[in-house]
Amino acid sequence: MKVTFLGTCAGVPAKHRNVSSLALHLENKKNTTWLFDCGEATQHQILYTSIKLRKIEKIFITHLHGDHIFGLPGLLGSRSFQGAESTLTIYGPTGLKDFVDTALKVSGTYLKYPLEMIEHDEEGTLFHDSNWRVKTAPLIHGLPCYGYRIEQKDLPGPLLMDKVHEYGIPEGPILKQLKNGERVQLANGTVVNGEDFIGPPKKGKVVAVLGDTRYSENAIKLAKGADTLIHEATFAAGEENLAKEYFHSTTLQAADIAQKAGANQLILNHISSRYQKDESENLASQAKRVFSNTYIAEDLSHFQI
């Protein structure tokens, strides 16, 4: 997996930051993309990336403040104009469906693809299939707001080629049978069990994408052992009172969450427009005092999970 940040600013856009949205690339055979939040001009930001609207299968909305949802109607319409026919599923708090339905109806926007809206208002598992699981839990903000934990299920172990060569097994269809764990009879009559030629499973990746929030115990739970934690850092260290008043977090509070959760990597997001571009490194340095493996997101930056 990798993530592309489409907008990293809090509240209103700045010259160097658009409002909230990020894309999670699953890097599977279909090159599937999931969006998290869709602030104003998200589709404009996508034009500067390799993201294809028709490849977006799911959109997860953290909460209904405008800087996180005002880009939805335009993006939904453009996805239709570009010929998408596959279902798009949108997850978010209660009230999201009314917003989307009203915007599409009033603007006369007709979608040529099925749109599925799933509203949620409590902690739990939102989605799972053979490869992925998405969990959610409420955070602490001025409106109902949620964080998301995306878990990739463990991947099959690799074929142990040293053992394959030891048994003199030739390349070809037989290797696929072994990879599938099947029992196979070799040319010399020996029967081998494919499961004996497969290494241990590869642990799946975990990424936590959190919405706007004060310091929250649920944030720690969602980020537990995550490979990557994406946490808002609207305010700099020393602005804790201001962060609390506006239901946000500071750089140090985000770092504290990452440390307590045992995350591997912290990416600071949702930065106030009061901070100029040349202040980014200072904001990251504040968090690094608590959690060394910290980075700050910039618009159109990429991070590997």
Give the pLDDT confidence of 216-248 residue by residue, as tens digits: 999 999 999 999 999 999 999 999 999 999 999
129 part of the active site: no
Model confidence at 186, in pLDDT bands (50, 70, 90)?
confident
Please tell me which residue, 224 or 181, carries the higher pLDDT value: 224
**How much is the pLDDT for 301?**
98
pTM equals 0.91
Longest distance between any two alpha carbons in the chain, whole Å: 76
Out of 67, 212, 256, 299, pick the active-site residue: 67
Model confidence at 180, in pLDDT bands (50, 70, 90)?
confident
Helix (H) or strand (E) holding 264: none
Are 147 and 137 spatial neighbours (Cβ–Cβ below 8 Å)? yes
Helix (H) or strand (E) holding 89: strand 88-93
Helix (H) or strand (E) holding 257: helix 251-261
**How much is the pLDDT for 257?**
98
State the burial class of residue 240 (Cβ atoms within 10 Å of its Cβ: 0-12, 13-18, 19+): middle
**How much is the pLDDT for 109?**
97
Question: Mean per-residue pLDDT for 295-304?
Answer: 98
Share of residues in the chain with pLDDT > 90 (%):
84
Residues 220, 226: Cα–Cα separation, whole Å: 10
pLDDT tens, position by position, 57-115: 999 999 999 999 999 999 999 999 999 999 999 999 999 999 999 999 999 999 999 99
Mean pLDDT of all residues in the chain? 95
Residues 90, 171: Cα–Cα separation, whole Å: 45
What is the distance of C-alpha 182 from the center of its chain?
35
pLDDT tens, position by position, 1-13: 999 999 999 999 9
**How much is the pLDDT for 34?**
98
Q: Could you tell me the domains of the chain?
A: 2-155+201-304 (3.60.15.10), 161-197 (no CATH)
Orientation angle between helical segments 280-288 and 251-261, nearest 10 degrees: 40
